[in-house]
Structure 1
Amino acid sequence: MWQGVIPAVTTKFTNDNGLDHAEMERCYALMMDAGCHGLIACGTLGEGNMLSHDERLEVLHLCKQATGDKPALLTISEPGTREACDLAKRAAGAGADGLMIVPSPLYHSGRDETIANLRAIAEAGDLPVMIYSNRVGYRVDVTPDMMEELADDPRFVAIKESSDDIRRTTEIFNRLGDRYDVLTGVDNLGFEAMTAGAVGWVAGLVVAFPRETVAIYDLIRKGRYAEALAIHRWFRPLLDLDVSTWLVQQIKLAEVIEIGSNDRVRMPRQPLRGEHRERVEKIVRLAIESRPVLPRN
């Protein structure tokens, strides 16, 4: 159902901490114009947990405007199942094409609790679901055997695989065949996961470098691995910015430099400053100076 490069978009803020609709419209259009295959609103990179439910639905609306007939998903990441179900219902009413569900980001639920939580949210929204398995960031691992148990519900259609272990992609296929669309969710494992069979990339640095991200995906799909690998090796220092406690600030700073956006964030986050900012700026500017020529077809 869902394949290709699907950015986990950033949320843009005004100087007075409101939502910057115009800037989000501009940035989301850049990604879709570059060939992205959908958008995901209000994930980790999108600072979803710093937004009210009403704000998240506003961002979803902007994503849907940008994607047209391509999918726009809303991330569901709530500590409590009751609140998650409420947001899932509202997302369905607002026209979401699907949900990306994170197990409770605060309570480290056990196996049966995690499965019951995912089932309840999927039933409440009654939309196609991408399960976000990220044991590093959220300390709840949705394992292949849990995916197998959830497979009896056709609403579970995809996995965002973010275990940080490239072997997990093959384990999912070996156990479940093509039951789920498997998309990689770790930027600096994008090449490895897609050459291992992942059909898509829920990407981060794509928000600043969409054409390069799409080029890697397209080349892999065409079997042109050497060309894809050359772009990936150039891209790797940038992709590493996604795998960090400061991924939001780092990627937003890349947007400042590459596409002229802003790096305003919601507290308690603060924009990068000092040596940390200088280091990230250097990585981004060096990459821009050495940017590869992308294939035309």
Structure 2
Amino acid sequence: MSKLFEGVFPAITTPFNADGSVDHAFLREHAQWMMRSGCKGMVPLGSLGEGNTLDHAEKLAVLDTLVGALGGAPVVPGIASLSTHGAVKLAQDAQAAGCQGLMVLPPYVYSSDWREMKAHVSAVIAATDLPVILYNNPLAYRTDFLTPQILELAAEHPNLRGVKESSADVRRVTALKATLPPQVELLVGVDDALVEGVQAGATGWIAGLVNAFPAESVELFELTRAGKLEDAARLYHWFLPLLRMDTVTKFVQLIKFVQQEVGHGSAHVRPPRLELSAEEASAAREVLQTALDTRPASAV
């Protein structure tokens, strides 16, 4: 069976103008720039995309811009809401907008037991016939989809076609790889576990720092997938201080700051997030400058 989500899929940031509105012109340019570097599609409206700060109309406008910008390449939006009803409506509207897949998150704020979480994600998965990636991020969302539960969902929903595993536990990836049916793909969801995740069996990467370093991200993924581990290790060692920015509380602010510093984006975020303090920005700039000064010859 062909793979739908193989390769690097940016968790694309949502660019904002100084007045807080979405910068659609840059959003289009940014997505096309990353696609030219070898990315396979875009994943908007997730955690990094600040989806929880956008209203429904803004989300649909983002999807319209990206579907138009990508010329047929997959747009796979994050689907999350305070309510199951809201998530179902967003899923259906995303399909109507031309999206080619969905990434389903647990509900914002409320998290409980498996019975309730299964009812929620099942309703969203069944809302369309689009292929779905289940997003497991227990640290962020306080809901942990365990391997037997994912298998239960896969058995009941043929359009569940991927799992974005962000527990940062490589053993979880190997367990899923050993037990999931072949139509359900595994995707790495934390930047600083990319090589380990691919070596454990993941075939896709929903990436964060790709927003500032798309060519390097694609190169790292492809070297690892090809088994060129010495070259991958050299590039990974260089990249890791930046990739670790994806795993801390202010990952959105940090990644947007790096985008701004490399000349491809702005640091604007929406409250309750605030831009980095002067001290935080100075520390991030130091990490970035070291990376720029020591970029290995194999990195593009």
TM-score, normalised by the number of residues in structure 2: 0.96
For residues 32-181 of structure 1, the aligned pairs below 5 Å read 32-152=35-155, 153-181=157-185
Task: Give aligned-pair identity as a percent.
Answer: 39
Which residue identity is paired with 1:12? P
* CA positional deviation for 1:295: 6.5
- 1:214 maps to a residue whose letter is V
The farther-off stretch of 4-13 and 212-221 is 212-221
Which runs of no fewer than 5 residues in structure 1 stay unpaired? Answer: none
Matched to 1:86, the amino acid is K
- Say if 2:208 is the partner of 1:204: yes
Matching residue within 208, 232, 235 for 1:231: 235
**Does structure 2 retain, via aligned residues, the 8 Å contact 1:212–1:294?**
no
Alignment of 1:238-277 (within 5 A): 238-277=242-281
Whether contact under 8 Å (2:239, 2:291) holds in the other structure is yes
Runs of 4+ in 1 over 3 A off after TM superposition: none
Is the alpha carbon distance of 1:201 and 1:65 closer, same or farther for their aligned partners in structure 2, counting shifts above 3 Å? same
Give the alignment of 1:282-297 within 5 angstroms. Answer: 282-294=286-298
Kindly indicate whether the alpha-carbon contact (under 8 Å) linking 1:136 and 1:164 is maintained by their aligned counterparts in 2: no
1:75-118 deviations in Å (ceiling 9; x for gaps): 11112101111111111111111110101121112111111111
- TM-score between both structures, scaled by the size of structure 1: 0.97
CA contact (8 A) 1:215 1:294 kept: no
Q: Which residue identity lines up with residue 165 of structure 1 in the other structure?
A: D
Structure 2 portions without partners, runs of 5+: none
217-226 vs 196-205, greater mean Cα deviation: 217-226
Q: Indicate if the aligned counterparts of 1:77 and 1:102 stay in contact, CA closer than 8 A.
A: yes
Give the aligned CA root-mean-square deviation in angstroms: 1.3
User: Secondary structure of 1:202's partner?
Assistant: strand
| Paired AA for residue 187 in structure 2 | L
**In structure 2, do the counterparts of structure 1 residues 200 and 109 end up closer, same or farther at CA, with 3 Å as the change threshold?**
same
Q: Which residue of 1 aligns with 2:284?
A: 280
Partner of 2:163: helix, strand, or coil? strand
User: Cα–Cα, structure 1 residues 254 and 295, in superposed 2: closer, same or farther, change >3 Å?
Assistant: closer
What is the aligned counterpart of 1:222 among 217, 221, 226?
226
Q: SS of 1:10's equivalent?
A: coil
